[in-house]
Amino acid sequence: MDVNFELKPWILDYAEDFAENANNADISEYMRDAFPHPCTKDDAEKLIKMFMKKDGKELYARAIVVNNHAVGNVGIFLKEDIYRKSAEIAYWISEKYRGSGIVTKAINESIQYVFEHFDVIRIFAEPFADNSASRRVLEKNGFQLEGIMRKSVYKRGVVHDSCMYALVR
């Protein structure tokens, strides 16, 4: 499936799209607990306001937009202190667009932008070990598996392994 998309800064007009697409147990299953589930429009507005406030300073956050609707997100969060040359990437996409190649391309555009515009030399991700789709898009973008962290995350009453992937400029 070849779908045209754009990466756009988040705006409050996308709150309904965010809530509709993110309100999916399959998406929240692999996200940090701060990612709301169920996701209401109010939850979406709070996150979007945070993205808007911190974008360009503490993070790079972009809506993945198809036909003027936000269907996903790529967020790259700048780290501090001794980790200030590193950033963590997180992403999700509507179930409707899984397997379309959009996330792979959106990650590629995002990491290029961050490497060009921020003082970052390393972007990392920590997907759950059993999230093969997420691991695959990272690998397609040149991220290398640095290790598997055994029993490192606890989500919905279950302990999971997670992975450390990184891309170094």
> How much of the chain, in percent, has pLDDT values that exceed 70?
95
**What is the secondary structure of the chain as a DSSP string?**
-----EEEE--GGGHHHHHHHH--HHHHTTS-TTS-SS--HHHHHHHHHHHHHHBTTTEEEEEEEETTEEEEEEEEEEP-GGGTTEEEEEEEE-GGGTTSSHHHHHHHHHHHHHHHHSS-SEEEE--BTT-HHHHHHHHHTT-EEEEEEEEEEEETTEEEEEEEEEEE-
pLDDT at residue 45 in the model: 94
The pTM of the full predicted model, rounded to 2 decimals, is 0.91
Q: Which CATH number fits domain 6-120: 3.60.20.40, 3.40.50.300, 3.40.190.10, 3.40.630.30?
A: 3.40.630.30
pLDDT at residue 33 in the model: 60
Residue 142 to residues 29, 131, 167, Cα–Cα distance (Å): 25, 17, 6
The yes-or-no verdict on residue 55 having pLDDT over 90 is: no
